[in-house]
Amino acid sequence: MDFHVRLEPMQQHLVNAVRPAILALMGAVIFLWLIACANVANLMLVRVSLRERELVVRTALGAHRRDFVRQMLTEALLLAGIGALLGLGLAWFGIRQLRVVAPANLPRLDSVAIDGTVLAFAAIAGLLAAALFGIVPALRAARPDVMQVLRASGRTSSLGGSRMLRNSLVIVEVALSFVLLIGSGLMFRSYQKLQRIDPGFDPRGLIAFQLLGPAGTNPQERATFMRQIHDRLQALPGVQSATASFPFPLTGEFTPIRWGRESALADPSKFQAVE
């Protein structure tokens, strides 16, 4: 008979079950981020419209387009930087609160921290956000209709096409919000269906636990040990039946086997694990 061995990275195996949920959560975060960018871009367009007369006067005095673009992008970078710093502050506060309320045996809790990767991600997200919500107002500010504005009597005349741009951004916001809302509704519906799945047995009145520790060095000793535990559990008041199983049903838990070269005998950190 043929014998096949399939090797896969430990990290991939450990996160394989939660990867779809994490990707779905990241998708929702990206949609929310795009909605915020569209909202800020709309507000900046309104601000450009209110400053239209100032921009036109500066253009008449010899200001160049790149000066307006540079000014708008600088303001956008400032807003994005403040937002990134506030986000990092909230993340730091959230991690502290998580460590307070989380159980002590939560795996890898100590490794949850704001490191260089998180800071780099926040910086990149801030730069992309500044580019997204800053480039459109910058381009609109760089093309004012000088003659039309100078002939106008009011101070709040709009730049050509700015109303259409604002309406387009509102449409984008509403569309993204609908996608996010529909996705949230589908996830909530899936959660409700998971709660109603029939596991094939009645879970009421059942208790399950994992037994760790030495159970003997040979099959006879292990069988005797398990029989003693079974008899003691069966004798507890209110217990109708008890049984043992390995691996535990419906958990899909990871049961690794250690292996390594001869150098691992002197340095246990060189041992590796395989399913």
Alpha helices for the chain (secondary structure H): 10-15, 19-50, 52-60, 65-101, 116-141, 146-151, 162-195, 219-234
| Closest to 138 in 3D by CA, of 83, 68, 223, 204 | 68
C-alpha distance from residue 224 to each of 218, 228, 238, 243, 245 (Å): 10, 6, 24, 14, 15
Q: Is the pLDDT of residue 158 over 60?
A: no
Residues 186 and 234 in one domain: no
In a domain, 202, yes or no: no
pLDDT at 101 over 60: yes
- In angstroms, the CA 181 to CA 267 distance is 53
Residue 157 has pLDDT above 60, yes or no: no
Q: How many CA atoms lie less than 13 Å away from 19 in the CB half-sphere?
A: 7
The pTM of this model reads 0.58
Per-residue pLDDT at 89 exceeds 90:
yes
The whole domain housing 21 covers 17-195
pLDDT digits (tens, 9 = 90+) for 104-119: 777 777 788 888 888 9
pLDDT tens figures, 194-221: 888 887 778 788 888 877 777 777 888 8
Q: Which of 195, 230, 250 is the last residue of a domain?
A: 195
The number of distinct structural domains making up the chain is 2
Q: Note whether residue 82 is domain-resident.
A: yes
How many angstroms separate the CA atoms of 29 and 11, rounded?
23
Residues 248 and 148 in one domain: no
pLDDT value of residue 143: 67
Is the same domain home to 142 and 242?
A: no
Of 147, 150, 151, 177, the C-alpha closest to 38 is: 177
pLDDT at position 193:
86
Shared-domain flag, residues 170 and 257: no
